[in-house]
Amino acid sequence: MARTLYIVRHGNTFDSGDTVTRVGARTDLPLSRSGTAQAEALARHFAEEGLAFTDAITGPLRRTRETTEIIMEGQARPPLIEIADFLREIDYGPDENKPEEDVIARIGEDALKAWEERGVPPPGWIVDPDMLMRAWQDLFTYLARRGNQDPALVVTSNGIARFALLAGGAPFEEAHDLKLKTGAYGVLEVLPGRTPHIAAWNVRP
């Protein structure tokens, strides 16, 4: 029987009026006010859906840990939160913490489109797509073999979440929107030794 995995992107780290930058592995921001509200909306949504998570795995950055902790506050019997370092976020190299217009000026629109649509890193970004897809596949196997059928929660960042979708076998022509929005989630059904089934992507309460 398949195990259901909920992959969540953390909430906002910027509020209306803030200068938005490309926040990566080296920029450890907390949730903003709106990001906290997004995490609280996820907690309510999952509780209302009757989801009782028996595994909760998060990246080590504050924004993912805070999102996970808020979701767990809505659980009647929350599990211990595990940290997985590969869920941190990618390193945007020279574009780390730069405004998006500066990023586009350096890499160009075509390079950004290749990243958003096909997961191809622009020059200078520090990311290993093959390693990330293997890490996701290992996590799928680990969770599928834990010996229960209850749902599992994984909280990460945008640059990492897209490789879960690709590791789940989504063909590029069907995965035209790899980006997982802040405060949104995807649903994968995993079985040991099988390609995961992608049940939903970019669901925001």
Span between the terminal Cα atoms of the chain, in Å: 27
Q: Report residue 168's pLDDT band, with 50, 70 and 90 as the boundaries.
A: confident
For the chain, the structural domain boundaries read: 3-203
Tokens at residue 116, please? Answer: 């958003």
User: What pLDDT shows up at residue 33?
Assistant: 98
User: What pLDDT shows up at residue 2?
Assistant: 84
User: What pLDDT shows up at residue 170?
Assistant: 67
Q: Which long-range contacts (CB under 8 A, 24 or more apart) does 122-130 make?
A: 122/95, 124/93, 124/94, 124/95, 125/90, 125/91, 125/92, 125/93, 125/95, 126/25, 126/90, 126/91, 126/92, 126/93, 127/90, 127/91, 127/159, 129/163, 129/166
Buried b (16+ CB within 10 A) or exposed e, 155-167: bbbbbbbbbbbbb
Give residue for tokens 């939160």. Answer: 81
Please give the average per-residue pLDDT across 103-113, as a whole number.
96
Burial of 153 (0-12, 13-18, 19+ CB in 10 A): buried
Please give the average per-residue pLDDT across 96-100, as a whole number.
96
Fold of 3-203: Rossmann fold (3.40.50)
Residue 23 has pLDDT above 90, yes or no: yes
Residue 153 has pLDDT above 70, yes or no: yes
Residue 62 has pLDDT above 70, yes or no: yes
Of 8-17, 26-35, 67-76, 143-152, give the lowest mean pLDDT range. Answer: 143-152
d(CA 204, CA 56): 19
Residue 177 has pLDDT above 90, yes or no: no
User: What pLDDT shows up at residue 76?
Assistant: 95
User: What pLDDT shows up at residue 117?
Assistant: 86
User: What pLDDT shows up at residue 172?
Assistant: 52
Mean pLDDT of all residues belonging to the chain: 93
